[in-house]
Structure 1
Amino acid sequence: MLNALPLAFSAPLALAALALLPALWLILRVTPPRPRRIDFPPLKIMADLVAKREMPAHTPWWLLALRMLIAALAILAVAGPVWNPPREAGPLQGPMLLLVDNGFGAAADWPERLLVAESRVAAAAREGRPVALVGLAETSTEIALSEPRAALDRLRAFALQPHAPDRGAHLPRIETFLRTSPEAEVVWVADGLSVSDDAAFLARLRQEAGSGRLSIHAGPIDQLALTAPENLAGALAVKVLRPTASAAASGLVRALDLKGLPLGDAPFVFEGSALQTTARLTLPIEVRNAVSRLEIVGERSAGAVALLDDRSKRRRVGIVSGATTDTAQPLLSPTYYVSRALQPFAEIREPRPGSTDPVGELLAQNLSVLVLADIGALDPDTAGKINAFIQRGGVLLRFAGARLAAASDELTPVRLRRGGRTLGGGLSWETPRKLAAFTRESPFFGVPVNDDVRVSRQILAEPEADLSRKTWAALEDGTPVVTGERRGDGMIAMMHVTADTTWSNLPLSGLFVEMLRKIVGLAGTGPAEPQGEDARVETLSPTRVLDGTGSFRSPPATAQPVARSFTGRATLAHPP
């Protein structure tokens, strides 16, 4: 940079050509002027044959000056002038801390990001500085310095992970390293995807960098991603996301089965500057239930892949009521509210009018859930069919009512009190009671309780040692209102109120829909978990997992088994 002006040159050696300007001046000076066109006068020429001394012609001075100026400007342009360049901080002496996002967000342009990281390591090698390499999607370990060549080999061996980097987990060790190496240069090759703790991570990184340097390399982000799919009434729908309006405006989502065979494609288009759209696969329910993988065609990222399991299947739910024939007024039918609540996420089946064996008819249709609304005593044959259905993994959901209060069978999760209301059968409250918040052990945990829900009557459960464990929902005074128990590979659940609005206004609330959604989702979740002090939760070991590019591979050494009920986010220990 010049001392008098804030001007620098990217190629200062080119200025040496200015020394050639005097020679150029001489060359241009002896160049004869442009010939003039004149008429040929022979007599005049003959008269001027007298010999005389003549001066040679020269290029006009103004033309020489203009040509010299053009040559000087060309030399300056080749030198690459930079106005007000950043001031040099002097050569770096400390080590380099290289942070690399190697999660699925970097998969789309990983080769380009790898080149950036390699160039920074090569620069450190030329300056004789050691390098500390940290993969932010890896397990947090002690940060150690190494020779640039060793760091380069480790960098090229990085595997793209199918989850987002947990940058916050690495922050304590990064802070410790920067405190012991205050002159370190910090280079972060970021994937550009934002997570919840990004702002805090960057703030702490800038604070701890101290006298060192922090540079962030985040290339353009144009990859697409999928969210969790929904198996709706007429189609399998999945939301497609893009980071900016300049990313791809259209594409194709492909559905594949467990063998990787395509089952169907669904186009999607982003309207205008929208960052979200929906792709719908309109397929028969049997085909939709066979889908195990959705992917965006042309994308190579785990974020563009959605894996489906049994929880994503659209369940078949059969509904039988003790008042099936009372259909003149639908709002008075026990099945009306249940079927309306289940329609968004389940396929409803009801027996034919006048059927002599409604339960057997429905069980023959490959049900996932059987709903009995105020069904009294069951004959042995029907009870045997239902019990076999539960043992195979089906879910039985029972609703209370006058018939159930007067009957008795073993297909309930808890023992019910029988007889008249004064003896504790169907209990009526003088003041309707509200629901209590769901406990952590309840399948409904996390669902907000509607304060407007009131229960005016219910069937009570007999006290027993494990009643609290079987209670999924209770009133404010602790009285169970929803109970459940595993039987074999299936489950029995019971609502201690009616399926209509006779005993409560629960069927009129959105909470009723969410509770039924959770119960239906329990179908096919596996055998009962052992209980007691020596109980061990059954776990599943991964056989195939996704890598950062969305391809299947063998599980890494860091992959751990998960419980059947696992619903957490993907991590290094639990890859998708």
Structure 2
Amino acid sequence: MSFSAPLILAALLALPLLVWLLRAIPPRPERQVFGGMYFLRKLSTPKQQPVRTPPIILIVRLLAFAAIVIGLAGPKLGPQTDQTSGPMTLVFGDGWDAAQRWEERLDAARAAIAATDGEIRILTASNGELSPPLSPTAAARAFARLNPQPKLADWLAIREALAEVDTRIVLVPGGLSPDDEIGVGSLPPVTAYLPEGQTLALGAPRVTSDSIAVSLYRSRVDQASSHRVRALSRDGRTVSVTDVTFAPGEDTAEALFRLPLALRNEVSRLDVEGIRSAGATSLLGSSARRTLAGLVSTGSGTLREGGFYISKALEPSAEIIEAPIRELTNFDPGLIILDDVGTLRSDDRIALQSFLQDGGILVRFAGPDLLAGDSRSGDPLLPAPILGGERALGGALTWAEPQRVASINQDSPLGGLTLSEEIAVRRQVLTQPGADAEVWASLADGTPLITAARRGDGLVVLIHVSAAPTWSDLPVSGFFAALMQRLAALAETDIAADVNAAGEPLPARKLLSGRGALTDPPGDAAPLVPGEPLPSPGLYGDGANERAVNAYRLSQAPTAFTADLLPRGSRVLTVEDGPQRDLSPYFLAAALVLLMIDAIISLGRLPFFRAAAAGLALFVAVAPLSDASAQLRPPLPRKAVEAALELRFAYIRTGDPATDRLSEAGLRGLTAKAAERSSLEPAAPQAVDPDRDELSVYTLLYWPVRPGQEPPSDAALQRLEAYMASGGMLIIDTGDGGAPGRGGFLGSVLGRLDAPPLEPLPDDHVLLFSFYRLDDLWGRNATGRVWVETRGALDQRRDGVPSLIIAGRDWASAWALDAQGIPLKPPGPGGEGRREMAFRAGINMAMVAITGNYKADQADVEAMLDKLGEEAGGL
């Protein structure tokens, strides 16, 4: 707590004097003889003596005096501002580590700006560039446009920029410290607003044979904390959630998702629930999904066929596709298994060689067909040339005994597997001795059982026995299942290595914003280039070549930014919850209440009606002041009250007079048609400014987005996010008939807006039959798709109202009517029929926005009736 006039508190020293005055005894009255006392002797009158002030009144008056003094001293609750004069350099951390408590940092920066009367230069930590000198007003406007960036502070650039600064330095850093000390050297001490709380970060995900794991790190370990980590699909659906708990002193915990194969393949990102930060988001590219295993076999339906044993061994860890070789390579599997395949056609051979060069794993099992096939010297599809004939071990015509599997090369990819059972080998194929092949497993006599060799970026593996249990006991052993799952694991992508091992530059497909949202990349976005520093976090490439680059790239917990990093003599303040709150009205109101209590106690001997009048006067005097001073939330503006009392549609004011007039006319026309054709009776539409106006009182909000508009502030976007989360419907109309969200102004807005996942409007969406049955949400423009909130995300909303609709249909132009009901714009292709369909689309959207669940539930009526009919028929 701080005081704007602390010298007034010296009046509290007068409290002892006040106690002496209140407890003083009046002087004893003089005695005078009155002759008439003779006649009054027989009257009995109680003798009154002067007494001291009662203790309760003394306490009340002392408290009232103290409350008045403290109230006049101007007490304030919140972070103390640094009142100075002269120029200032404000260093502001705008990396992803500042996103978790972004508004508090902005409040600290605004407080520092408000406390100075000189020029201000801003140095954002993400780029390390100093702005030109700004006035306090211009600096405040500049901060309104700032947003968290998907990277950490560039402290090297900051040190270089601060070396040329000779003004007072105010620092509002992010939550994480640099790799080394800031090193401001001979610069004067800084005033730093240090953040409270911990900064969370997710490491690189790890995909195993049966789970997805990710490490959750935190920067502060002084107390226990619990968090929820979510696994999300591409359309924003929550696939799974797991709880992670940190004990005091722990900085790393693991989130483990054990999911069936189908669900594991759907996971595209992990994040920490409630934390909107690029560092608390971990992306998974397509290469991190479970590997497809292609199988070429003569059959897998019976116990006599090798494909049966291969399929059973791989089922827990891979998805198996049985098809010819040429078809398998089109699926881009990570693993192809040839069960006793001998001669290969030329096009199959070419396809397999290309598969190996691209990093695939080819596994071949021996058998009669492999021996009879073409085993030319130097065949790239075998680790080594095969010697003619098979080796028979045991039987009536041989002296040799069946051999046991004796050893596993622990330096090979099979390292860690153990032989806990005896596996007899009765037949095997032999490869040419001295060949350049790795031996992964051997028999007791030293002959190889499993050999392998590198081919390009891939690997070819030969198992010297058949996949059926005719040549050996291997297919019916537990070691066989572990062997096949280990080979499938080899085909899984090592995410950390995969990012740096891209064969060629991959263009950016989606980039991660500082708040953890995926956005369309700008045209000059840097690609992912092998051997060069990693670009901005996001998704690069497409299809099977999609690679994920994450914001947090360390394998250990980060370090919090503390005062130890600051120069000696620096002043350290704390970023607390919200700006300073003036407590003077509270203390003055309390003083008035205490004085009224004193008056009531003093009037206790008066007749009852006088005490009641005093109490009424107390209520009349105190009620307005206490309501104005102690109210935690200001009352709603009159504009919002009017909108809450009557149903109204609203549009966002863009600042362009022509666009705003068209939006007003469009909603006026939609309001008139809705009142004419339905039971809706909306009042006149209103224009709103999301920076200042209350949005929650409107059920439908229309936002025309045009190039060249002033970008919305971060506070405006947060209000829009809260509006959508509370059940409102936001309609964004670009009016150009193109594909929304593909860069440009709208792309920049969506990149900063925490919007729900979108999908093209389905044919059976509730928006198409809520009032009229339509095949599309028609507008003045006929081209471009309509994008709506995905059903997966909508299923989690209890009101059933799509929170976001984006299109380029120019609905306002089709709806626009003047005061006499005459259209203001041509209807577009299709004539007045097109305008009619546009009005029907608008009424449908309005119905869903207002009725919500009721209209959404109608989608299931037909199925429910059919089911009831079936049940009735079965009785």
Fold shared by both chains (TM-score > 0.5): yes
Of 120, 126, 133 in structure 2, the residue corresponding to residue 146 of structure 1 is: 133
Residue 304 to residue 472, structure 1, CA distance change in 2 (3 Å): farther
The amino acid across from 1:546 in the alignment is: L
1:212 paired residue number: 189
Contact 1:98 1:188 in 2 (8 A): yes
1:312 paired residue number: 288
Cα shift at 1:383? 3.9
- Give CA deviations for 1:514-559 in whole Å, capped at 9, x if unaligned: 8874544399x99xx9xxxxxx964332233221222232214662
Note the aligned Cα RMSD (angstroms): 6.5
Of 6, 15, 30 in structure 2, the residue corresponding to residue 12 of structure 1 is: 6
2:124 paired residue number: 134
Of 389, 395, 408 in structure 1, the residue corresponding to residue 375 of structure 2 is: 408
1:444 paired residue number: none
Q: What is the 5 A alignment of 1:18-417?
A: 28=22, 46-47=40-41, 93=86, 95-103=88-96, 105-124=97-116, 126=117, 128-136=118-126, 139-140=127-128, 142-149=129-136, 150-162=138-150, 164-165=151-152, 167=153, 169-171=154-156, 173-190=157-174, 192-193=175-176, 198=178, 200=180, 203-205=181-183, 207-208=184-185, 210-221=187-198, 225=202, 227-228=204-205, 230=207, 232-233=209-210, 235-238=211-214, 249=226, 251=228, 253-257=230-234, 260=235, 262=237, 264-271=238-245, 273=247, 276-280=253-257, 282-283=259-260, 285-318=261-294, 346-347=318-319, 363=328, 368-371=333-336, 377-380=342-345, 383=348, 387=352, 390=355, 395-398=360-363, 407-408=374-375, 412-413=379-380
Cα shift at 1:498? 6.6
Residue 89 to residue 387, structure 1, CA distance change in 2 (3 Å): closer
The amino acid across from 1:187 in the alignment is: L
Contact 1:121 1:131 in 2 (8 A): no
- Give CA deviations for 1:70-103 in whole Å, capped at 9, x if unaligned: 8887677668899xxxxx9995656324131332
- Consecutive unaligned residues of structure 1, counting only runs of 5 or more, are 1-7, 34-41, 50-55, 83-87, 352-357, 422-431, 438-446, 451-456, 464-470, 474-479, 487-491, 501-506, 530-535
Cα shift at 1:314? 0.9
Cα shift at 1:208? 2.1
Secondary structure class of the residue paired with 1:180: coil
Contact 1:11 1:78 in 2 (8 A): no
- Give CA deviations for 1:96-127 in whole Å, capped at 9, x if unaligned: 24131332x32233222212112212223x2x
- Measure the CA separation in 2 of the matches of 1:221 and 1:364: 48
Residue 411 to residue 390, structure 1, CA distance change in 2 (3 Å): farther
Say which is worse superposed, 306-315 or 264-273, in terms of deviation. Answer: 264-273
- Measure the CA separation in 2 of the matches of 1:458 and 1:116: 74
Say which is worse superposed, 543-552 or 242-251, in terms of deviation. Answer: 242-251
Contact 1:369 1:520 in 2 (8 A): yes
Cα shift at 1:187? 1.0
Secondary structure class of the residue paired with 1:544: strand
Contact 2:343 2:373 in 1 (8 A): no
Of 456, 460, 477 in structure 2, the residue corresponding to residue 485 of structure 1 is: 456
Contact 1:21 1:68 in 2 (8 A): no
Contact 1:360 1:385 in 2 (8 A): no
Secondary structure class of the residue paired with 1:289: helix
Secondary structure class of the residue paired with 1:270: strand
The amino acid across from 2:110 in the alignment is: E
Secondary structure class of the residue paired with 2:141: helix
Cα shift at 1:408? 2.9
- Give CA deviations for 1:162-217 in whole Å, capped at 9, x if unaligned: 3x40x3x432x433343333553241332x235xxx251xx233x52633324142
- Measure the CA separation in 2 of the matches of 1:133 and 1:250: 33
The amino acid across from 1:270 in the alignment is: V
- Measure the CA separation in 2 of the matches of 1:336 and 1:366: 23
- Give CA deviations for 1:21-71 in whole Å, capped at 9, x if unaligned: 8996897488869xxxxxxxx99993499xxxxxx96869x9999999888
- Measure the CA separation in 2 of the matches of 1:567 and 1:310: 21
The amino acid across from 1:193 in the alignment is: L
Cα shift at 1:14? 1.7
The amino acid across from 1:484 in the alignment is: R
Residue 157 to residue 461, structure 1, CA distance change in 2 (3 Å): farther
- Measure the CA separation in 2 of the matches of 1:59 and 1:245: 56
TM-score by length of 2: 0.40
- Consecutive unaligned residues of structure 2, counting only runs of 5 or more, are 28-35, 44-48, 76-80, 389-406, 417-429, 440-450, 467-478, 541-548, 551-875
Secondary structure class of the residue paired with 2:455: strand
- Measure the CA separation in 2 of the matches of 1:414 and 1:391: 9
Contact 2:290 2:492 in 1 (8 A): no
Contact 2:452 2:462 in 1 (8 A): yes
Residue 559 to residue 460, structure 1, CA distance change in 2 (3 Å): farther
- Measure the CA separation in 2 of the matches of 1:189 and 1:217: 7
Q: Does 1:545 align with 2:511?
A: yes
- Measure the CA separation in 2 of the matches of 1:557 and 1:131: 30
Secondary structure class of the residue paired with 1:113: helix
The amino acid across from 1:485 in the alignment is: G
Secondary structure class of the residue paired with 2:115: helix
Contact 2:383 2:452 in 1 (8 A): no
- Give CA deviations for 1:385-414 in whole Å, capped at 9, x if unaligned: 964994998935256989689953599548
Residue 346 to residue 556, structure 1, CA distance change in 2 (3 Å): same
Residue 178 to residue 241, structure 1, CA distance change in 2 (3 Å): closer
Cα shift at 1:369? 3.8
Residue 412 to residue 318, structure 1, CA distance change in 2 (3 Å): farther
Secondary structure class of the residue paired with 1:521: coil
- Measure the CA separation in 1 of the matches of 2:465 and 2:5: 83
Relative contact order (C-alpha < 8 Å, sep 6+): which is higher?
2
The amino acid across from 2:288 in the alignment is: S
Contact 2:91 2:123 in 1 (8 A): yes
Say which is worse superposed, 292-301 or 384-393, in terms of deviation. Answer: 384-393
- Give CA deviations for 1:350-407 in whole Å, capped at 9, x if unaligned: x8xxxxxx97699599671445589674243894696499499893525698968995
Name the structure with the higher helix share: 2
Secondary structure class of the residue paired with 1:217: strand
Contact 1:252 1:296 in 2 (8 A): yes
- Measure the CA separation in 1 of the matches of 2:275 and 2:110: 25
- Give CA deviations for 1:480-533 in whole Å, capped at 9, x if unaligned: 9732237xxxxx533589799xxxxxx99x99998874544399x99xx9xxxx
Cα shift at 1:560? 0.9
Contact 1:254 1:296 in 2 (8 A): no
The amino acid across from 1:307 in the alignment is: L
Residue 154 to residue 458, structure 1, CA distance change in 2 (3 Å): farther
